[in-house]
Amino acid sequence: MKLLSETIAAIEPASEEHREAARRRIEQLTMPNWALGRLLDLAVDLAGMTRDLTLPVARKEIVLMAADHGIVSEGVCPQPSSVTTQMIHNFVAGGGGIHGLAGVAGAHVTVADFGVASDLSELTATGAVLDYKIAPGTADFARGPAMSREQAVACLEAGISIARDLAPATDVFGSGEMGIGNTSPSSAIVTVLKGASDPRPFVGRGAGLDPARLDHKAAVIRRGIECNRPDPADGVDILAKVGGFEIGGIAGLILGAAMLHRPVVVDGFISSAGALIAATIAPVSRDYMILAHGSAEPGHRAMAELLGKQPLLELGMRLGEGTGAAMAMPLLDAASAIINRMATFESASVTTEGLKE
């Protein structure tokens, strides 16, 4: 608990001084006023996060956290939990969708075991997978808490530790995840934080659930919320009651990155659940979040509203793994390039008459 408390206390708001300096710089660039729209908004955000007008974003790290979920036993997803393990081996072999897209983004991918049900010691022994296993999967939150409060704190602090360990070689973090069944805790988290009695508007097909089973999935999630009664003002309680180990890890990564003034590109539905936990625990951590894309999962719009964020991309994606974060990362490079490479009116001897209207 000490690391979590110290991290929360150390998180500062993004620098308004650097945001304003970025705005002044942009106003001098050779283009009509704010002609690159949200790309320039992103540049201002990055300046405030990094406290550096050069917008350092070249060194990118996507942290893919994996865990299993007891709620799978309730029939809320079509795949068995064993697929989580199979996908971890696929990631280690470089065969995931995230690896192709991370290559395009120039990002490195780190895989971490936060609670996979199987024994991954052969992979963790070689360093192919980081070992932060809290337990071999959460409990079924439809019948009791997903984890203890102590376990919730442990996965948050593990995520913070990853941020601290990787920060010396990282300018920008991206969040990723793998865990069969993890759309259910994510739907539960947004339901709790929206203060809704019915999770159905926030429940989607996940990895391909038959639409006829959606009402069952929603009923199971509702039962879990009613059984556990998580406190919407206490992010640790929400995580413990209805969350997942990888969701807690993502929340911790965001908190750790925020403390270190590092931007975090938040992937889709499950990563946004982690972002909501982080924002509930430390509201100022929102200043360091960049929402990569709008997930096809129906609950993601409500998550974005709760976070006060507009996704950079809208591509109908729902794969997870950090793929949306990888897709969005080149936009950070573009924002940095505009600030660093575009001429000013003065340096280019271009008249401002009529151009800044």
**Which residues are designated catalytic?**
321
Contacts of 305 (CB under 8 A, 6+ apart): none
Cα–Cα distance, 222 to 251 (Å, whole number): 23
Cα–Cα distance, 290 to 277 (Å, whole number): 15
| CA-angle at 277, arms to 109 and 94, nearest 5° | 15
Can you read off the two tokens belonging to residue 303? 């998550």
Q: Environment class of residue 303 by beta-carbon count within 10 Å: exposed (0-12), middle (13-18) or buried (19+)? A: buried
The 10 Å Cβ neighbour count of residue 104 is 11
Q: Environment class of residue 58 by beta-carbon count within 10 Å: exposed (0-12), middle (13-18) or buried (19+)? A: exposed
How many residues does the structure list for the chain?
A: 357
Inter-residue contact 64 to 114 (CB < 8 Å): no
Inter-residue contact 281 to 185 (CB < 8 Å): no
Give 147-178 as a DSSP string: S-HHHHHHHHHHHHHHHHHHGGG-SEEEEEEE
Cα–Cα distance, 264 to 274 (Å, whole number): 12
The identity of residue 62, as a single letter, is: I
H helix and E strand count, the chain: 15, 6
Which run of H or of E encompasses 212?
none
